[in-house]
Amino acid sequence: MLIRLTARGHACAFLATLLLAGVVPAWSWGPAGHRITAQIAEKRLNPQTRKRLELLAGKGSTLASLANWADDIREERPETARWHYINIPPDATELDLDRDCPGGDCITVKAREFLGIIRLGLKTQEERLDALRFLIHLMGELHQPLHAGFSHDRGGNDIAIVFHGEESTLHKLWDSDLLGKHISDEDLFAAQLLSEIRPQDEKRWSRGHLKEWTWESRQLALEAVYDGLAGEEPKNIDDAYRRRAWEVAKEQLAKGGIRLAVIMNEIWGH
CATH number where 170 lies: 1.10.575.10
pLDDT, residue 13, reads: 46
pLDDT, residue 233, reads: 84
Q: Are 66 and 38 in contact (CB under 8 A)?
A: yes
pLDDT, residue 9, reads: 45
Strand order in the sheet with 160-163: 166-169, 160-163, 235-237
pLDDT, residue 231, reads: 73
pLDDT, residue 211, reads: 98
Contacts of the segment 101-105: beta carbons below 8 A, 24+ positions apart: none
Kindly report the pTM of this predicted structure: 0.89
Q: How many domains does the chain have?
A: 1
SS3 label, residue 166: strand
pLDDT, residue 229, reads: 84
pLDDT, residue 10, reads: 45
Q: Are 37 and 260 in contact (CB under 8 A)?
A: yes
Residue 160 has a CB neighbour count (10 Å cut-off) of 24
**Which is it for strands 166-169 and 160-163: parallel, antiparallel or unpaired?**
antiparallel
Give the whole-angstrom CA distance, residue 125 versus residue 118: 10
pLDDT, residue 151, reads: 96
Q: What does the pLDDT profile of the chain (270 residues) look like in tens digits? A: 333 333 444 444 444 444 443 333 444 578 999 999 999 999 999 999 999 999 999 999 999 999 999 999 999 999 999 999 999 999 999 999 999 999 999 999 999 999 999 999 999 999 999 999 999 999 999 999 999 999 999 999 999 999 999 999 999 999 999 999 999 999 999 999 999 999 999 999 999 999 999 999 999 999 999 997 877 889 999 999 999 999 999 999 999 999 999 999 999 977
Q: Which domain holds residue 40?
A: 5-268
> What is the maximal distance between C-alpha atoms in the chain?
59
Of how many residues is the chain composed?
270
SS3 label, residue 47: helix
